[in-house]
Amino acid sequence: MDFDLTADQLAFQQAARAFSDKAFAPHAAAWDEGKVFPRDVIKAAGDMGFCGLYCPESLGGMGLSRLDSAVILEQLAMGCTSTTAFISIHNMASWMIAEYGSDATREAFCPDLVSGAQLASYCLTEAGAGSDAGSLRTQAKRDGDYYVVNGAKMFISGAGATDVLVVMVRTADSGARGISTLVIPSDLPGISFGKNLEKMGWHSQPTKEISFEQVRVPVANRLGKEGDGFKIAMKGLDGGRINIATCSIGTAQAAINRTQTYMLERQQFGAPLASFQALQFKLADMVTELVAARQLVRLAAFKVDKGDPQASVYSAMAKRFATDVGFDVCNQALQIHGGYGYMQEYPLERYLRDTRVHQILEGTNEIMRLIVSRHLLTQADVETIQ
């Protein structure tokens, strides 16, 4: 068992950190304040391969493992949490097309998606179907070689600014088994977008409602078989939960880095903050918990890469733990910065706002607990989780 990164992973880490330091970090505060979606910078990330991390090389992607991708996303998140989170969602949607689409569908959409020339949104949540995704109501009725789609999706990242929508729709009335997945170009007639929702964080990406009214989508744009949509959506979320957990880890690491510098420089009562044992212990706990969260996320990524039958459980545990730890570390870092941490001149308050939503999206942390507990209470041998 080797916990060290490989030579390739170290190279990915260094390249991602250099890109993040140059392209993300200097602009993150301005993007946040101005609610700017930096599409040109995301395209530059695509030129680096970061928009097709685990799409196959045959389609222009990097063909990396989820573990390799986690190493990269952590470094990107240190520069801008919100933009990196969008890139992670784009990767999830693009992978779903690459994994489950027909040859024609993959060839039509993937090259532009993995390069960042086009961007994708993942469309599952509805106003009345958040944690209960199996109750979604957006309808897709077959009409010859087309589906006619009617309904609405809520809280969609990138909506109105992306080119491709991976949409979960209802093709039958049998709960989760009646859900299918369609790839829908965002400019088709009948698609409209609501206003940009005012959010606590994630200001560098738009979040809108999407409405579908008599939208005609070719049957050929379906991913997998009819009725496979819920299964496909959940497979996408296994990786998506690891990605969001990784974004929390990267942001928390950035918060710790700034806190370490601040404690060494800031003077109180004639001594640097670093000399006070209470703050020393607080920093030690922050780092310890972050390292534990990072290792759990990497274990979950390994399980997904391996195709482990319990990969979904590990992804749920990692997402719950890492997003809770990430938010708490950012909160503690802000506390150590005192009044300065509360000011927008420092990035701590942005770190806090941006990581808060990670405990909600890709399945709330309460749902993550439900996934884990259900697994444990329906298994004959609980020692299979180790």
- Write the pLDDT tens digit of every residue in 141-186: 999 999 999 999 999 999 999 999 999 999 998 788 999 999 999 9
- Cβ atoms of 54 and 91 closer than 8 Å: yes
**Is 1 part of any domain?**
no
C-alpha span between 147 and 153 (Å, rounded): 17
Say yes or no to pLDDT of 321 above 90. Answer: yes
Q: Quick one: tokens of 18?
A: 């250099």
Domain count, the chain: 3
pLDDT of amino acid 128:
86
12 & 114 share domain? yes
**CA 353 → CA 32, 195, 347, distances in Å?**
10, 21, 10
- Which domain range does residue 368 map to? 230-384
What CATH number did the domain enclosing 53 receive?
1.10.540.10
Residue owning tokens 């009345």: 128
**Stretch 13-24: mean pLDDT, rounded?**
98
Query: Residue 381 — pLDDT band, cuts 50, 70, 90?
Result: low
Same domain for 66 and 11, yes or no, is yes
pLDDT of residue 309: 92
Structure-model confidence comparison of residues 107 and 2, the more confident one:
107
- Claim to verify: residue 166 and residue 281 sit in the same structural domain: no
Instruction: Find the CATH number of the domain harbouring 283.
Output: 1.20.140.10
**In whole angstroms, what is the distance from residue 87 CA to residue 81 CA?**
10
Looking at 179, 202, 225, the residue that finishes a domain is 225
pTM: 0.95
- Asked if 362 contacts 242 with a C-beta cutoff of 8 angstroms, the reply is no
Q: How far apart are CA 199 and CA 208, in angstroms?
A: 11
Pair (165, 72) in one structural domain: no
Shared-domain flag, residues 239 and 358 = yes
- Which positions ≥6 away from 53 have C-beta within 8 Å? 61, 62, 64, 68, 69, 72, 73, 91
Domain assignment of residue 148, yes or no: yes
74, 209, 349, 362: which is the annotated catalytic residue? 362
Give pLDDT tens digits for 130-151: 888 888 999 999 999 999 999 9
Question: pLDDT for 95-108, tens place per residue?
Answer: 999 999 999 999 99
Other C-beta atoms closer than 10 Å to the C-beta of 315 total 29
Residues 153 and 207 in one domain: yes
- 156 and 282 belong to one structural domain: no
pLDDT of amino acid 382: 59
pLDDT reported for residue 380: 55
Q: What is the CATH number of the domain that holds 189?
A: 2.40.110.10
pLDDT of residue 134: 84
Q: Identify whether 349 is a catalytic site residue.
A: no
The per-residue pLDDT for 384 is 63
Shared domain check, 179 and 110: no
Compute the average pLDDT of residues 288-308. Answer: 97
In-domain check, residue 2: no
pLDDT for residue 263 is more than 90: yes
Residue with tokens 């997003």: 323
Question: Which pLDDT score is estimated for 222?
Answer: 98
The residue out of 85, 118, 151 marking a domain boundary is 118
Q: Which of 83, 118, 153 is the last residue of a domain?
A: 118
What is the residue-averaged pLDDT of the chain?
Answer: 96
**pLDDT score of 305:** 96
- Shared domain for 108 and 153, answered yes or no, is no
